[in-house]
Structure 1
Amino acid sequence: MKTAIPRTQRHVREPMPASAEDTAPAFEWLTAFALRMRSESESEPILSAVDSAIQETFPHYLTDVEVHREVRAATRAHWFGFLAVIGRSQFEARPPAEAVNGARTVARRGYGVDMLLKTYRAAQRGLWRYITQVLHQQIPDPQLRGAVLVIFWEHSTLWLDTCLDGIVAAYMDEREHHTRNSDAQRTEIVQAILRGEPAPPADSPDHLAHSMDNVHVALVLWTDPEVPARYATGLLRDYAAQIARALGAPPPLLISSGVHGLWAWIATSHLPDIAAVAPPPSAHLHLALGTPRPGVAGFRRSHLEACAAQRIATSAQNSGAVTAYQDIDLVCLLTGDGDIESVRALIERELGQLADRSEQGARLRDTVFEFLCAAGNIDAAASRLGVHGNTVRYRLKQAERRLGHPIETRRVHLELALRCLEVYGEQLLPAP
């Protein structure tokens, strides 16, 4: 389909055909309405209704933290921009900077322009549904209500159609620039790997110059919206490079995830200590870390973990500047980021050498499990196992040697891993 997008970024509304006397009460009502709605608390229900309408059309926005955040910022900016002109018979419509940034992020993620347009149409439906209900509740006079509905519909449609010219133009410019950029091919290769396709071999022209055989630490970095988009990428790239140096690694593999976001992978020949990662140099920068994992599977898994950590960091009030998945993995599992592979990873990490498939390993796991179920009572655990209390003590010491730490150090994580193993069986143990 051929796309011809005019680059108009403003439009002066023509006077309505109805007389000023007929429309004056409606404009007065809309002016008073706009004044009330400029309060964040008053506008939140409307913004939430629009957000819900978008999510009904595109549920995956919920799992894409950065795109969802940009879409919400664009919705809010549109609404407050529209409120500033809603009570006027003539007005100028210009796409807010947040909406332009959102379009650029959608382009960088490889989404089609049809998704951008459908998102705006879904938002328009959500707004119209909500406003129709509000007006029926607040305007008992059917004549006034009808006049307000007509003006609101005409103004909102004109606002959207005019702003979309500039928004789609920004999308097309970003898509064209991204296609010409050498980063585009690298992004396509990385996204293919994340989908489960094999990584290009080292002698391939598509090789990423990033060793897939090493241990990988995935990073998801982002800035607050108030950081100008033209500065955000540079700040995030510098911070990612700083982290790589701190972990004794070569420069990271970097992929732009949006105008305020960056995906990165650090490859090391050793198991890095991610606790050594320094906080970002600015309060407006944020970092989510996956756990270090080897090979192509580790490349994917660590990224999924970093994205899960980002979701928690952007939705929790108590999150810090750096959020590591290994510190919040149980929260992630309990709030929607869990799958069978996440459980398998939890078991492998928490049980360590206690996760072997030998008869002795199974016996030690059973002993630790019964000990935990008995709230740390050795006699009760011995009774449940049908052995002497000293046997339980001996096995617990053996188990702690394999774990590398006292049972109490990671009690909750350890018990959860053992409970998952009890349900699923040995299929979740690491391959021998």
Structure 2
Amino acid sequence: MDTDVAAASAVVMDRLMARQVAVSHSVQQALASDITELRGDPELVQLLGSSVAGNVETIFHALRHDISLGNIEPPTAALEYARRVAQRGVPMEALVRAYRLGHALVIDAAAEEVNAAGLQARIGLAVFERITSVSFRYIDWISQQVVVVYEAERDRWLANRNSTRALRVRELLATPLSVSVSDPDTLTATLRYPMQRTHLAVVMWWPADSELDDGLGRLESALRDLAEAVGTQSSPLFIAADRNTGWGWIPLSVAAATTAVEVVRSHLSGQHTGPAAALGTPLYGVDGFRRSHHQALRARRVAIAAGTGGVTVAGDPGLAAAALIGENLDDAREFVSETLGALASDTANDARLRETLRVYLHDGSSYKKAGEKLNLHFNSVKYRVGRAEERRGRPVDDDRLDVELALLLCHRYGTAVLSGP
């Protein structure tokens, strides 16, 4: 490589590496936005971000330090992402398309830096051609690597699943809720699970970095314990979602359905080493089977985005609204910041002020009622509400609904929607 071109290439790559985090983030957002199959599950989107970041870092370092592609290893997160999307049934075409689209966005960023570097036309063109050539070869190579991993994992996953039962459940869940599904007796026979009952859906999972022996077996055992705790007369249904996540349904009698959620919450909350769980609400029949599951998935998305474990319940006040508003956390974070101002800061003091203001507004702007819930003197509540308005920079009366929604997002998502201190 020409010495002038090599020097110019180093300058351009230094500029690109300085904005590496921003480039990776923009690629992740574009992929999750443009490729439908890659969005929806916050945990999967987070892993997509790690995969993108690993690929961008690898190719940038190879270009900057002139490292031969034969001497680099596939990013660990990229291979794990391929395994995970295979487990979730995401089409391989979506994975391959993600690499093509991501490559185009990285090339656009490189072109910006080549132009910004003010190079002579000949040198600038040579630098851009080098970046394009090397990155194309990298994308071709890494695509082959992830496809091999995807196919192997997909074959293994399909072979190990209880195929007929699991596939029938997935077909049932994929049917739009607006479409009524008939013949519950046939479903009962196929799934070996009583469909003409009230169902409590449970989604349970271990942290993404867990390396547990028989993690799925432990989840299934936990589901059986829950069924026993609520006093069900039939066996629960368990389906593996991926190697760390299980979907479950507990068939309930009319009497058990009234207390099942609190029984399950109490049972799981008392286990410090148990899995995280999200619960739907008990609903009847085939439609109830599907709707309770969709509620549990929505509750899980809130828990994953907030980075919380424990038990998240779809029927808890405000959770459904938080799930809908929090579909795009970047927009939610911007809304919280614009609505709450400095009160959206991630500090212990602002957290106390936000919680006091949230309870105060929820209880009809009553200092006395809020004080009883928070175990505070009503004058303390009044003081904190005043301080919260000072931190916000304006009173809450004019846009009270926006403030309540912003406080709800803070309560549910925590630091995920807050600003730095």
After TM superposition, the score normalised by the length of structure 2 is 0.64
Determine if contact 2:204/2:278 at 8 Å carries over to the other structure: yes
**1:146 is the counterpart of 2:125:** yes
TM-score (norm: length of structure 1): 0.63
Q: Please point out which of 179, 199, 207 is paired with 2:190.
A: 207
From the CA coordinates, give the structure whose radius of gyration is larger: 1
CA distance in structure 1 between the partners assigned to 2:189 and 2:326 by the alignment: 35
Any conservation in 1 of the 2:25–2:49 contact (CA below 8 Å)?
A: no
CA distance 1:52–1:182, change in 2 (3 Å): closer
Residue matched to 1:78: 55
2:6 aligned residue: 24
AA of the residue aligned to 1:73: S
Contact 2:188 2:194 in 1 (8 A): no
Instruction: Judge conservation of contact 2:203–2:277 (CA < 8 Å) in 1.
Output: yes
Aligned to 1:421: none
Deviation at 1:49, TM superposition (A): 1.5
Superposition pairs for residues 225-374 of structure 1, below 5 Å? 225-228=208-211, 232-234=215-217, 236-249=219-232, 252-269=236-253, 270-271=256-257, 272=260, 273=262, 274-279=264-269, 285-316=275-306, 319-327=308-316, 328-332=318-322, 335=325
Cα displacement (A) at 1:105: 2.5
User: Deviations 1:259-283 (Å, cap 9, x if unpaired)?
Assistant: 4433222222221133324149677
Alignment of 1:164-243 (within 5 A): 164-194=143-173, 195-196=175-176, 198=181, 201-202=184-185, 207-228=190-211, 232-234=215-217, 236-243=219-226
- The alpha carbon displacement at 1:301 in A equals 1.0
Instruction: Provide closer, same or farther for how the CA distance between residues 55 and 203 of structure 1 changes in structure 2, counting only shifts above 3 A.
Output: closer
1:47 paired residue number? 24
Distance in 2, matches of 1:222 and 1:156, equals 37
Q: Does the aligned pair in 2 maintain the 1:103–1:171 contact within 8 Å?
A: yes
Count of paired positions: 320
Moved more, 219-228 or 277-286: 277-286
What is the alpha-carbon root mean square deviation over aligned residues? 3.6
Shift of residue 193, structure 1, vs aligned partner: 1.4
Would the alpha carbon gap of residues 157 and 275 (structure 1) be closer, same or farther in structure 2, given more than 3 Å must change? same
Q: Which runs of 5+ in 2 are unaligned?
A: 328-361, 367-400, 402-421
Q: Looking at secondary structure, tell me which structure has more helix per residue.
A: 2
Tell me the alpha carbon deviations over residues 361-407 of structure 1, each in whole angstroms, 9 at most, x when there is no partner. xxxxxxxxxxx9x999xxxxxxxxxxxxxxxxxxxxxxxxxxxxxxx
Does the 8 Å contact 1:224/1:284 carry over to 2?
no
Q: What amino acid is the match of 1:315?
A: A
Displacement after TM superposition at 1:50 (Å): 0.8
Of 157-166 and 24-33, deviating more is 24-33
* Compared CA separation, residues 247 and 119, structure 1 to 2 (3 A): farther
How far did residue 298 of structure 1 move?
Answer: 1.3
Per the alignment, residue 348 of structure 2 pairs with none
- Deviation of 1:324 after TM superposition, in Å, equals 1.2
TM-fit CA distance, 1:25: 1.0
* Deviation of the 1:305 alpha carbon: 1.0
**Alignment partner, residue 336 of structure 2:** none
